[in-house]
Amino acid sequence: MHGTRILQEADRLMTVCNSCRYCEGLCAVFPAMEMRRAFSDGDLNYLANLCHACGACYTDCQFSPPHEFNVNVPKTLAVARAESYAAYAWPRAFSGAFARNGLVISLIAALSVAAFIFGFAAINDPGVLTGIHTGPGAFYRLMPHNAMALLFGAALLYAIVALAMGVRAFWRDIGEPVGMKTDAKSLLQAVRDAGELRYLDGGGVGCFNEDDHPTDRRKLYHHFTFYGFALCFAATCVGTLYHYLLAREAPYAWWDLPVVLGTLGGVGLVVGPIGLLSEKWKRDRVLVDEQQMGMDTAFILMLFLTSITGLALLLWRESAAMGPLLALHLGVVFALFITMPYGKFVHGIYRFVALVRYARERQMMAEQAPTAVIPGGAQRRTRNDE
């Protein structure tokens, strides 16, 4: 028996799938399943987070609905995945944030933006907020650099601690040693698999989205989003280093590294989220956990707002709109940071961790005799044919 109804259903499906195994070439989930004969809660949460929701196993399955075996792996694992996010949340008191995520994120974002606007207005002389500021240190006339660095550093640090605690809970749940004895090889493999979204491709043809014609669009928009986010983050880091190491103050010229990185990243973070959102709206509802739509949309919109406000700030930084735009941008980014551990952002983290474990399992399978038992109960591989 399992802790929740959805894990009970996931167990039923993995039992069906493990007696079939036709999908073993599509992604990582099925080979990982084949290493086991029975499934603990932790095993199912691991498989749920390993699933990239490409939909191929649903389209390819001879037992998907309306067949009486009613096999819908992508949807079942999506629900299990969402429930696992809440279960691993730290502190536990905040796990409810996942249930009404759209509402929670929009409230926090609105409050955060409002706080920056009022903060700028309250701390500074009247007129500074809507004044025109140019040259090095222009932004810091609204908020001192050290205060900005401290506030955002703290928010980021909090997010990192909360995420690490979540990962710790996940790692424990899937039965791995707390010390995370992952070798460099598994980590490197997981970085590669995550970096190229190896398993978001239906085994090679692409994702199944609105019909049974696979496309690469979801993968492409994910790449835009992820690498856009990474470039924006790099821009911030370079800016901070400029400030403290080279004593060069923002705003920087359009050709300077932080601006180039931020602009490229910002464009990625506009194109990616818009694409993801449109794919999401088109997606066949049979493949998705509709309860999650609020959370998914909230995260996509937060990323979009981050980039669009950042780009707006770049465009109008020498006008009177700079003050309000800076407040808007900082408010959105602050909200993004502090809500990271309580929203869709975590999917990337847990999926990466699942990929690390998968890489490790595969390695152990390769190193040991085919009949060897690995943690979780690996089995000799057998194939169905007739």
Tell me the closest approach of the beta carbon of residue 218 to another protein, in angstroms. 18
The two three-digit tokens of residue 2, written as one number: 């399992």
A 10 A CB-CB count for 204 gives 9
Residue 92 or 380 with smaller CB distance to another protein: 380
**CA-based diameter of the chain, in Å?**
81
- Using rule CB under 8 A, residue 212 touches another protein: yes
Task: Out of 7, 9, 31, 42, name the contact with another protein by CB under 8 A.
Answer: 31
- How far is the C-alpha of 15 from the C-alpha of 12, rounded, in Å? 5
- Using rule CB under 8 A, residue 19 touches another protein: yes
Phi-psi region of 247 (alpha: psi -120 to 50; beta: other; left: phi over 0): left
- Using rule CB under 8 A, residue 242 touches another protein: no
Task: Out of 3, 96, 144, 370, name the contact with another protein by CB under 8 A.
Answer: 370
- Using rule CB under 8 A, residue 60 touches another protein: yes
A 10 A CB-CB count for 117 gives 18
DSSP type of residue 144: -
- Using rule CB under 8 A, residue 63 touches another protein: yes
Site string for another protein, 332-361 (x = CB under 8 A): ------------------------------
Site string for another protein, 167-206 (x = CB under 8 A): ------------------------------------xxx-
Task: Out of 24, 83, 173, 201, name the contact with another protein by CB under 8 A.
Answer: 24
| Residue 112: closest CA among 344, 305, 252 | 305
Partners of residue 207 on adjacent β-strands: 215
∠ CA 380-367-356, rounded to 5°: 95
- How far is the C-alpha of 34 from the C-alpha of 379, rounded, in Å? 7
Tell me the closest approach of the beta carbon of residue 197 to another protein, in angstroms. 18
Rg of the chain in Å (alpha carbons) = 23
Which positions touch another protein (CB under 8 A)?
A: 15-16, 18-26, 31, 37, 56-57, 59-63, 66-68, 203-205, 212-213, 362, 365-366, 370, 379, 381-386
